[in-house]
Amino acid sequence: MNESGGYSPRDLHFGDDGQKKLISGITKMSNAVKSTLGPMGNTVLIESPQHTHGITVTKDGVTVAKSIALLDPVENLAVQMMREAASRTAANAGDGTTTAIVLTEAIVKAGLEMIKPEDNKTEILREIISVTEAIVKKLKKNSKSVTSARLRDVATISCNNDKHIGGIIADTYKSVGKNGIVTVEKSQGSETTFETTTGLKIDRGFSSPLFINNQKKDECIMEDVYVLVADAEINNILSIEQILKPIIADGKKLLIVAPCSQNVINTLSANVIKNNLKLCAIIPPNFGYKQHELMQDIALSVGATYFSEKTGDDLSIISFSDLGRASKIIVGRDSSIIIKDNSVVDDSIIDERVNQLWEAHRSTKDKVVKDFILSRIASLTGGVGVIHVGGNTDLEQKELFDRVDDAVCAVRSALEEGILPGGGLALYKQGSINDGTPSGSKSIAYAILAKALKSPLNQILNNAGAEWSPKLNDDFNQGIDVKTGQEGDMIKMGIIDPVKVTRNALQNAVSVAVTILSTNAIITMARTYEL
């Protein structure tokens, strides 16, 4: 019987047979990605029909990972799981995708080598997770905060040691300040430049993943967008029909900042998928009085009329003229960025609101309230830096865009959680973390991770054609610059990695590797192939 008759045939794979195919898929994925790791890493050519000339040239791990699909269904399951580790790392930290893939392969292969049939596999895998938590704590303990001088180093390292581009990224972050936001766009010319504007960040993401239009970053990105701001629930699509009609008719774009019923979200998503509606919806940030205040700030920033139940407003009377405007929106899973359109927003109104907030800050003694007011001021006054990436050819521009985008995310991660010695050194040094003399399952878990944690540094050395290994009595920061062969303090040499990137790569790799190692039965759809 076939699927149309109500039955879908399946293939089952057990034990060694299934694991061998999983390992084969892991190896193929890792081999495609890991040659890009480090300053001497190589580029990958990808057949990509959606890009100019059908070719993508990249060193970006997640781009390579997302391009891979294998014919064998079990091998492809391994690829999908590896891709998940890379995607999670990219989404959470913006970089470290290749490290995550290298670590996943290393943990799986070390586990298969060291876990014997007589061992308690479940207990060992549980200990691997526990030891990983201890490693993360030590990484955080060894971290250093980012100084202005180190900002440039982080950016330079993250964009493949391009000092010019690293300088542009560092200068952009310095211009927008601590509360600022940096985004990346393609330039119309060959030069890479930056400019600063104003915008705000909302701690809410899209209401449905079907609104995503940038698959690499799992974001909805739109320019020249109309904005609807309301705290009244949209429970019937007809209540905003008068807004949607001109949006659809004229091919305009719309951001809805309002609670929507699931039926409305489903209807909007379906129309987005059909490509006759360019739209994204997010729920209002926070709750209660805080939500009301934040929604007023959002409406003020985009020049929109705020429709609120608290003031008795009725969405049925909303008109197109009540919508605000934004020059660009970037909506992710957990947060959104709205870049202001200066042509529709009066700066004096923003200044007046900020002055009111400072007065409120001075007049209250409640620390919680004070902190909330300060976050509102930061949101209203925060700068937005836009880096315009140029290139002499479409291929050159695409490759540089990916590097700059990763570097921007890496700098943001470094500012959030600090930095560590780079080049895989911080993970390598964790190979000696075993406190005391562990035994049994814990001893095996230590051994697996101790071996696997050396893999990123070893791969960087391999890609550079270099040979070197840290000495046990060396300082934590003592490493090697594979480009010059010089040994020294990695932090002082400017070879650094953000803590957030390193820990996310490790945690996501462990999560996927443990799942693979615990797998004994694999069920796939039955396939027939005709040549």
Same-domain check for residues 339 and 201: yes
User: Within a domain: residue 391?
Assistant: no
CA distance linking residue 181 with residue 175, whole number of Å: 10
Same-domain check for residues 138 and 8: yes
User: Within a domain: residue 377?
Assistant: no
Contact assessment for residue 399 and residue 59, using Cβ atoms and an 8 Å cutoff: yes
Burial of 503 (0-12, 13-18, 19+ CB in 10 A): buried
Out of 299, 324, 345, pick the residue that ends a domain: 345
Same-domain check for residues 15 and 131: yes
Same-domain check for residues 14 and 134: yes
Out of 345, 374, 407, pick the residue that ends a domain: 345
SS (H, E, C) 365-410: CCHHHHHHHHHHHHHHHCEEEEEEECCCCHHHHHHHHHHHHHHHHH
Which CATH number do you get for residue 24?
A: 1.10.560.10
Same-domain check for residues 119 and 32: yes
User: Within a domain: residue 309?
Assistant: yes
User: Within a domain: residue 384?
Assistant: no
Same-domain check for residues 42 and 104: yes
Q: What is the span of the domain harbouring residue 25?
A: 3-143+419-525
Out of 345, 376, 411, pick the residue that ends a domain: 345
User: Within a domain: residue 58?
Assistant: yes
Same-domain check for residues 51 and 122: yes
**Which stretches within 49-120 are classed as H helix?**
61-67, 73-93, 97-114
Number of folded domains that form the chain: 2
Q: 179: which 2 tokens?
A: 């509360």
Which CATH number do you get for residue 255?
A: 3.50.7.10
Same-domain check for residues 341 and 435: no
User: Within a domain: residue 188?
Assistant: no
Closest CA to 139 of 84, 181, 99: 99
Same-domain check for residues 439 and 508: yes
pLDDT tens for the 531 residues of the chain, in order: 444 444 566 677 776 777 788 889 899 999 989 988 888 888 888 887 665 567 777 877 778 888 888 888 888 888 888 888 888 887 777 678 889 999 999 999 999 999 988 889 999 999 999 999 999 999 999 888 887 777 888 888 878 778 899 999 988 888 887 667 788 888 888 899 988 777 788 888 999 999 998 887 789 999 999 999 998 889 889 889 889 989 988 889 999 999 999 999 999 999 898 877 899 999 998 887 888 899 999 999 899 999 887 777 777 788 898 999 999 999 988 889 898 888 887 778 888 988 999 999 889 888 788 888 887 887 787 777 889 999 888 888 888 888 898 888 888 888 888 999 988 899 998 866 555 566 788 899 999 999 999 999 999 999 888 888 877 666 888 888 888 888 888 888 888 888 998 999 999 999 999 998 888 777 877 666 554
Same-domain check for residues 339 and 423: no
User: Within a domain: residue 363?
Assistant: no
Same-domain check for residues 136 and 220: no
Same-domain check for residues 224 and 127: no
Helix, strand or coil for residue 91? helix
User: Within a domain: residue 292?
Assistant: yes
